[in-house]
Structure 1
Amino acid sequence: MSTASQPATDGFDAAFHYPPDLFEQLVDTIPLLCRSKNAVLLFFQGAGVPAEDLDDIRGELKADASAHNKYGITRTILTRLNERGDNGLRSRREVVKRVVEFEDFGTTWDNDRMRAKGQVASIRERVNVHDAFTRMSMERDREAARHRETHERQQEEVRSRTAAIDGARDRLFALFGEQNPQRRGKLAEAALNDIFAAFGISVREAFELRGDDGEGIVEQIDGVVDIDGTIYLVEMKWLSQTAGTGIVAQHLVRVMGRSGARGMIIANPGFSDAAVKQVRDAMGHMTVVLVTLEEIVGVLSRGDDLTNMLRTKIQAAVIDREPFRRI
């Protein structure tokens, strides 16, 4: 038996038994490949068929050579392999493999040779077609599995993001009962940074700039965020009354001193009319967006997208020169 050509037979690995049409093809083909009844038994023995499926037939042939013919032997052994279910899987696959790889037709009877070649070619084609469909089915299964994994990963990311937003939101809400203004301000900055990060907004936390000649701290920035590729210097104020022009003016100076940067002021409870006008008057030189803590709380309470809300306010500032578009 030659192994020069090796059509795939893995498509039958998962089959519980031979399908009826393949079964009959094997019954018609294997006897053509073997000149004698003992050669049929050796064919199956070489394919790993258990001895108990062969010994009784071998014994009956010794007692009476006419007890079986090659076709009857083949049918009986294939039936036994089918009945073995999963335990016969390897032998069933090997039987098919030996048939489709059979090339030494010089060992067959002359009268059977052409028919044997035709039968082997037919089974080989059937196996190859079956294997092609099996590969396509397996690829579809793998693709479906990849989609499931991607979906599960996305769902896990959503759950993780939601948990992070909920945790930061709860910490922010709890600060409305905090009586220490300094502690409340620091914790509010941290909570807002976590909220921005959970919405995918790049954040740099608060930092200080010091003078060159022992001047100490000359500037303090509550944070920096990146929205759609544009840098915003952020100032966070939690006050007992609306932020006035003094608060706003300090941040306008910080933004003006950095070419290409924009500003964002987040204040609780909000901004005075004079402060809003002051920012509007400066819009010819810079872009500054005014946001209230109430607006952020509203977004979190409704389950809306913070980034979309900020984009709406940014567009109003850039296009309409309206720094405080209330959401």
Structure 2
Amino acid sequence: MTQTDTFHYPPELFELLVETIPLLNRSKKSVLLFFRGAGVPDKVFKDISEKLEADKDGINKYEIVRTILTRINEKTDTYLRERRELLKRVVEFESFTNCWETDQYKAKGLVAEIRNIVNVKDTFTRMKQEKEAAQSKHTADYNKRVEKIKKKKELIEKTKKEFYGLFALENPQERGKKLEAALNSIFSIYGILVREAFTRKGDNGEGIIEQIDGVIEIDNQIYLVEMKWKKDKIGSEDIFAHLGRIYHRTSAQGIFISSSGFTDSGIVASKEALVNKAILVLTDLEEFINILDNDKDLTQYFRAKIRKAIIDKEPYSKL
């Protein structure tokens, strides 16, 4: 028994119990013992016991069962445990040899019917519970997605303000640091793995011999990121410097981000790198602002730029 006991007996089950319990017990006193064994308090059938003592033929087994069942069935909250135990005893009843011989087959049939009703009701209850559990999980998942979207929007708004605030800064060093932080933030928002700026020192005390603004990973490919905020466009000198870092790392590729665009010589240098199988995608800072303003997917955007660089040999494309 699992769930049927949590409700009062429905009419169909009630009538079956009225028909069955008298057959499972040979005498009227046995019927009372059956109820007592299920935990039904004596006070529930005290008057019936007294009536039997006074006039044993004044009430039959069916009347006894119906009266007691009615009393415990009406008190929904009071006799939950007793109804449960009573029903459990009926569906698990196996000693039909204790019944009157003429009642045995009928008793077996009625018990089987009760078992069937209980099983069907339990099946529907389980189905309902599974459905409710699925709905609950769906609601929880939905709320998590909503919360994730909300947090993403909040981060995007925060990052937008950081980007816009850069244009008011006059100190190049402060601006450079905040630019790195803002770009790292936007990469993180769109699920691109980021390693923030790092430096490489020489083996013989040469100090810092190389500085890289950042490292990101897109589709299991490593890209070294360089960021420059200059008045003038980025030329071939800066491009070659970044390409040097890429060439010194097996299978690494690159992304160059500029606040002022690129010169023709810088674009040519990036195109020529493709001959040496080095991909250097050129990106304007305004492209990031456009992505944030229009809620574009940064990963998809860069995938398209990378494809454009490889297939069309256009490392500097605005999509």
Equivalence for 2:198: 207
Q: Alpha carbons of 1:13 and 1:195: their partners in 2 closer, same or farther (altered >3 Å)?
A: farther
Match of 2:269 in 1: 278
Whole-Å Cα distance in 1 between the matches of residues 121 and 251 of structure 2? 64
Paired residue for 1:44? 35
Q: Residues of 2 paired with 1:283 and 1:64: CA distance?
A: 109
C-alpha distance in structure 2 between counterparts of 1:185 and 1:46, whole Å: 84
Query: CA shift at 1:22, angstroms?
Result: 0.8
Q: Secondary structure at the match of 1:280?
A: helix
Equivalence for 1:104: 95
Q: Is residue 15 of structure 2 the alignment partner of residue 24 of structure 1?
A: yes
Count of matched residue pairs: 318
CA-based RMSD of the aligned residues comes to 1.7
Which deviates further from its counterpart, 183-192 or 110-119? 110-119
Over residues 10-50 of structure 1, what are the superposed CA-to-partner deviations in whole Å (9 max), with x where a residue is unaligned? 130332x1111111100000011112222212211211223
Partner of 1:326 in structure 2? 318
Query: In the alignment, does 2:144 pair up with 1:153?
Result: yes
1:292 is matched with which residue?
284
**What stretches of structure 2 of length at least 5 have no aligned partner?**
none
SS in 2 for 1:81: helix
- Listed one character per residue, the Cα deviations across residues 133-190 of structure 1 (whole Å, up to 9, x for unaligned) are 3323323332333333333333333333333333233222222212211101111101
The answer to which of 314-323 and 81-90 deviates more is 81-90
What letter matches 1:300 in structure 2?
A: L
Per the normalisation by structure 1, the TM-score is: 0.91
Q: Which runs of structure 2 are paired with 1:144-223 in the superposition (5 Å)?
A: 144-223=135-214
Whether the aligned pair in 2 keeps the contact of 1:245 and 1:275 (CA below 8 Å) is yes
Matched residue of 1:177: which SS? Answer: coil
Alpha-carbon shift at residue 62 of structure 1 (Å): 2.4
Q: Give CA-to-partner distance per residue, 1:193-224, whole Å, 9 cap, x none.
A: 12111211011111111112221111100000
Name stretches of at least 5 consecutive residues in structure 1 with no aligned partner: 1-8
Partner of residue 297, structure 2: 305
1:60 matched residue in structure 2: 51
TM-score by length of 2: 0.94
What amino acid is the match of 2:32? L
Q: Which one is further off, 23-32 or 124-133? A: 124-133
Kept in 2, the 8 Å contact 1:269–1:294? The answer is no
- Residue 64 of structure 1 and its aligned partner are, at CA, apart by 2.7
